[in-house]
Structures are given as C-alpha cells and as structure tokens.
Amino acid sequence: MIEKILIANRGEIAVRIIRTCKEMGIATVAVYSTADRAALHASLADESVCIGGPLSKDSYLNMNAIIQAACNTGCDAIHPGFGFLSENSAFARLVEECGLIFIGPSAKLIDLLGNKSQARKIMKDNGIPVIPGSKETVTSVEHGKQIAAEIGYPVMIKASNGGGGRGMRLIHDEAEFVEQYNNAKAEAKACFGDDDVYLEKYIENPKHIEVQLIGDKHGHVIHLFERDCSFQRRHQKMIEEAPCHILKEEMRQKLFNDALKACQIVGYYSVGTIEFLVDKNDNYYFMEMNTRIQVEHPITEMISGVDIVRLQIQVAMGNKLNIKQEDIKQNGYALECRINAEDMNKDFAPCPGQIAFMHIPGGRGVRIDSAIYNGYKVTPYYDSMILKLITFAPTRLECIKKMRVALSELIIDGIETNAKFHYYVMYSREFIEGRYDTGYCDRFIKELKDNGSIV
C-alpha cells in the first residue's frame, strides 16, 4: 500500500499529481526550491519541504535532498512527474534502495529504453518496423560512411542516449559526413556524458504519432489510443490532439498492436508512450519509448475517460490493472494548447515576470491544468510552460471552435504569452483540415511573419 507520496516535481504536473493523490486518500509531500516558496504545488500539498536553491541542479535534480525529504516525512513512494529526474535510472535505483517505491518503471527498463540504439535493435529483432539505419552504434567514420552509402543520403546521426533533438544532425551527402559525425558525437558527449551515436535514413517532415500505454507488474498491458504531436517548434510540442485526425483505421490498429507488442517484448510496466514517425507514403516506424507520464496526458484522459495518474499509482503499488482493453472506449476529440510565458514577437524568447491579472476560461469541455494564479511571479529558472488549455468535444471541429472561444476568454496580463499564436493556429486552414506535419509549425510562423501578424 502507498499512503504517502513525495512529488519530486513542480508546476502544473505536481499540482495534477497532488489532486489525484487527494482523491485517493493518499497524503502528499511537495518539495520546492527557494525560488518556488510561493509556488502553488507547495501550498496544495499536505506538507512541503525546501530542498535547495533555484537552479534545478540544486533542487529538483538534487537526488539526495529529495530522498532525504521523503524519508524524513515518512513517505512510501516518490512520483517524479516529467522532466527533471523522471527518466533518470540512477534516481529510480536509489529510491528503491532506500526502501521507497519509484512511481514509474524499474531502473532496468529506464536504462534499456533510454538507450535509443539498443531499443531500436530490440524492436527490429522482434519484427517491429524501425527507420532503416545502422544495426547498432556507429564505431568509426569509415563504418558510418559505409552504412550511410547503403541506406542512401540524406541520413540522420543521433545520440544513443539522446532525446529532444539534441545530439542529432542531418547529413546531406558523404562530403558532410566527417564534420557532422564529429559534431553529433561532441554534442552527445556534452549533453549526455556518452558519445555513442547511430544512423538512420532521414524522413522528411514526418508526422509524430504516439501511443499511450499502461502496464502492471503482472504482465498485462493496455493502450489508451494515440496522440498526434506533430505541431512542434524546435522539438518542443506546442499543440497536441487525440485521436490523430488523418490516421487511417488500418494503420491505427497496427500502431496499437506494435506498441503493445513492444511492451510485451521488454516486460514494460507503469505508464509509457511509444513514439512513431509516419512518412508521406504511410510507412510508420518505431522511434523511441518514453518511460514517464507526459505533458500531454490530459487529452488522452479526456477521450478515454481514464485517470492516468491514478492508474500509474495503482500499478506502482503492485495492483493488477482493474480495466480491460475492451472496456475502454474512445469517445470524442481533445486538443491541448501549451501556453508558455514567452514573447512570440521576440522569436518566442522566454518572458518571466509577475502575473498582474488573469482570467481563465471555463465551460463544458474546457480543462485547465496550471499552477499559476493572480500575482504569481514566473521565474526564469524553469520551463516556460505556465498553463495547459485542453478542450474536449464530440467532433474535432467543435473541439477547435471550443478552443477558439476558450483562447478568446483567456487573459494573462503582466507577461507575454503565446496565447495569440495558438488563436491564429485555430484559424489555419492546414490545421483545421488536419494536414500538418512536423515541419508545419515553422512554415506557419513564417507565414505570420510575412503577413505582419507577428514580428
């Protein structure tokens, strides 16, 4: 049994987790940095503990301070949320060694799936389609050039332990190979402390589709349908929708089956997401598996009727999944706009400051996940996402119209936000028709600059 959980995170996800804990009758302990003394998560939790200075490395990444706080307050478990320590296997291992439950998969699974090259190999060996590329890591320039010639240029070189687009380079032809290979290796070493890289054929402007999964510790796994996360800027998602509008039913079933199979192969448990790339010719490829709860989980909750955090906590306790695949029915459409404290007229630069006044939209099918309030000071230390605006309706068009109404009601004064940008997107023809890929956000920004809507 879990009776008390420490939430090793901040912002809206910490608030999100605390809410479900309260509903389940589980006591909560928040941790906060000195920059977050006035943060909402710290006041909503039953107890809160200051764990260090403003810089993440001194607080939300400070494993010893977090585990000490959990032990001192008598917690049974730690929920890592997303980002920070959520996919850090050393942390998961340390938590378990201290006799606490890590609310996530085992350290072994985090390691296995965190190594993208290894995950790729396992999936390929088990018949799941992966992007054509190197079988394992690339060990020399000569080895790399040989593989690139076989799969054909352009190719991508990626860090085995990478993610978020870092340690990743596009190579157009053999003349560029040495330079980009060295760049990717250097960036991988600097970002991830490991310079292993692998090669893949370059897929131009793919769609990014991911399947939400949840497994228990007894070998049962179910999926909660897919999300389309193709609307991204600089590898940061901005808008997500569920289900994917243009996915054909036949491919959808294949994605679900392969995602479930991938989990069975590695014995996955806890919540997780399998990311696929879909190319223009309707080929799909396994790309990577995320072993955490994700920012965009609310849209899946809206269409599936499942509280994903509740299930995550239940399976962490060792409970069997209490729902069967056939009991979960997809219903309606959901959209999420990530509202960031950033200035879209300054190349979307982060824009911290004090919220002088705010008004949040409401009504049927409108959900807000946020940790801001009137007078709250957005600090420069953490991610600039301050609010997730989620709409839910029977059809996609109604959902878009609901998002327009909600965005038009939203007021956040005192700081710049990207809300207006989202409003423009909700009137974009390509978006409305669902005809957008991972290159669309940049094209749309250019369009807005060209017509003077943004500078």
Binding residues (CB under 6 A) for ligand MV4: these are 131, 156, 165, 200-203, 206, 208, 232, 235, 438
Q: State the nearest-atom distance from the C-beta of 175 to ligand MV4, in Å.
A: 20
- Taking the complex as a whole, how short is the minimal distance between the CB of residue 208 and ligand MV4, in angstroms? 4
State the nearest-atom distance from the C-beta of 157 to ligand MV4, in Å: 10
Contacts of 17 (CB under 8 A, 6+ apart): 5, 7, 9, 28, 79, 81, 309
Catalytic residue among 169, 292, 338, 396: 292
Q: Given the complex with ligand MV4, which of 48 and 438 has the nearer CB atom?
A: 438
Distance CA 399, CA 191 (A): 39
On whether the CB atoms of residues 330 and 304 are closer than 8 A, the answer is: yes
CB of 439 to ligand MV4, least distance (A): 7
CB of 244 to ligand MV4, least distance (A): 13
Q: Please say whether the beta carbons of 120 and 286 come within 8 A.
A: yes
Q: How far is the CB of 156 from ligand MV4 (least distance, A)?
A: 4
Angle between helices 89-97 and 63-72 (to 10 degrees): 30
Tell me whether residue 273 or residue 438 sits nearer to ligand MV4 (CB atom).
438
Nearer to ligand MV4, 177 or 202 (CB): 202
Tell the smallest beta-carbon distance from residue 200 to ligand MV4 (Å). 4
Instruction: Please indicate whether residue 234 is annotated as part of the active site.
Output: no
Nearer to ligand MV4, 413 or 442 (CB): 442
Could you tell me if 277 and 202 are in contact, meaning their C-beta atoms sit under 8 angstroms apart? Answer: no
Whose Cβ is closer to ligand MV4: residue 198's or residue 376's?
A: 198
Question: What is the C-alpha separation between 356 and 350, in angstroms, rounded?
Answer: 17
Which residue is listed with tokens 């609901």?
A: 402
Nearest Cα neighbor of 87 from 109, 70, 67 is 109
Contact 273, 119 (CB under 8 A): no
Show the tokens assigned to 368.
Answer: 């807000």
Beta bridge partners of 393: 333
Minimum CB distance to ligand MV4 smaller for 40 or for 168 = 168
Nearest to 115 by CA among 294, 292, 288: 288
- Sheet with strand 77-79: strands edge to edge: 47-52, 27-33, 4-7, 77-79, 101-102
Q: Which C-beta is closer to ligand MV4: that of 335 or that of 410?
A: 335
Q: Which residues are catalytic?
A: 292
